[in-house]
Each structure stands twice: as C-alpha cells, then as structure tokens.
Amino acid sequence: MKPKYKQVKRMTAFMRLNHWVVAFSMVGAVITGLYIGHPYYQTLIAEPAVMKYVMAWNRWVHFMIAIIFDVSSIVIAYLYFFSRFEKPYKKIIPTAGNIKEFFEVIINLVMLNRRKKFDSTHSDSFNTVFFLLFHLMLAWMLLTGLQLYVHGLESGLSSIGSWWPWMLHLVTDWTLPVSSWMIGSTATGTNIMDVRIVHHMTMWFILSWVAFHIYYQVWRTIFWKEGDIGIVVSGTKFVKEKEA
C-alpha cells in the first residue's frame, strides 16, 4: 500500500515572488559587479566603450539592483519577527530543541537520509540558520557597496541634498576599519580598497552559498521524496501523513 501524502503550504505568494526577485537581481548584480571590478567586455560595436557609457550603465544597473536588495532585506527583516505565516527567528534561538534539530538535519544529510529524526513539514533550524547566513552576507554587501558609492561623493553633496551622503557615512563608515581588519592591513590604516576587496570576496561566498542551496534543494527532493524543489513555484510540498 502506497503511503498517503498531504499537501503542506511552505511559502506564501509574496515569499515566492521575493525569492525570484532576489534570484534574478543577484544574477544582474554579479554580472554588472564583475564588469565594474574588471571590465571584461566593451560592446559588439567597434566604437570605444567609453563613448557609450558602458561602465556608467553597469554602475547604474548595479546600484538599482542594490536598491531592490535594500527593500527586500528590510521586508525580510520585518517578516523574521512579525510574519503572520511563520516567524523564522523562533528557529534560530539556541534552545535545546532547536540545537538538537540543527544537528539531526546535518546527520540526515551526512548519512544520506538513513536517519531522519526531525519534522520536515516546516522549515527546520538548519535551513533557517543557513538562510540567516545568506541574509547577513547580503546585508554586508549592501553596506560595503554603499560605502563604495558614498566614497565617490567627496564634496559631501548629492542631487538630493547633503543629507544623503551624511546619512550614508553615518551608516557605513564603520565598514572601513572592519574591512581593513578582515584584510589584515590595519597597520597601514583604513582605506577604501579594503572595502572593495571584501565586497568582491563576499560575492564569491554568496555564490558558494547559492551553489549549496540549489544542491541541497535537489538533494532533499531526491532523498526525502516530498517535492521540496517545487516549493518556490507552487508554495507547497507533500509530506507523508504518518510523519506529519
């Protein structure tokens, strides 16, 4: 007799929309960011890139995407605590139950699903912490990116007033010493190049995160047989009734 499955809602329509907005924005941010760091193409036309503002367009698109990430991050941070669907912060509190579940999920992964002693009906502690790391890296990218941006406003003025550069300095200047500490160049003083380097390095950490994220979703779909890969499309998965 085949086991009975029940359909479980895992993502709301807004969560799925936000997921794909972030995914496609990230592709655009990586492409334009790589060009800003190392211009690897001009255009298919023989006219010099500088005459067609290729760098300027890349910087503009990169900045617009950063604004989308800003809005997305603020919304996600709000939903972490006040979502009416589920509140992820409850899964990252280091309680005995969450810690046990966190390691049980790791054991499940390492043992190729031979042992599964946690409820996969809803988001588990491991996956929640994993996504928390992603959101923290995204926030770091946003702050270091804004520091690189405000560094170009040396006059302290902008088209919308002096309050904008002032606010950006207030929010992001702390990334200068932190970046120098991460690079290990504190002896020579803080400098904007350290921020640029850690901004670039963090991109590769995020891409590594994305690679494991995709792998893990496919892995769960194959081993758990609950249709996890379809969550970002339909918002639901299927769980055996006896395990729910």
Give me the count of residues in the chain: 244
Closest CA to 69 of 29, 105, 40, 9: 29
- Structural domain that includes position 53: 5-240
Of 63-72, 92-101, 146-155, highest mean pLDDT: 92-101
pLDDT of 1 > 70? The answer is no
Task: Name the β-bridge partners of 5.
Answer: 240
What is the total count of domains within the chain? 1
CB count in 10 Å sphere of residue 122? 15
Query: What does the mean pLDDT of the chain come to?
Result: 89
pLDDT of residue 14: 92
Indicate which CATH number applies to the domain containing 62.
Answer: 1.20.950.20
- Other beta carbons less than 10 A from residue 73's beta carbon: 16
**pLDDT digit string (tens) for 208-241?**
999 999 999 999 999 999 999 999 999 999 988 7
CA separation, residue 104 to residues 115, 117, 120 (Å): 8, 6, 11
pLDDT at position 211: 97
Model confidence at 48: pLDDT above 70: no
Task: Render pLDDT for 160-177 as a digit per residue (tens, 0 to 9).
Answer: 888 989 999 999 999 999
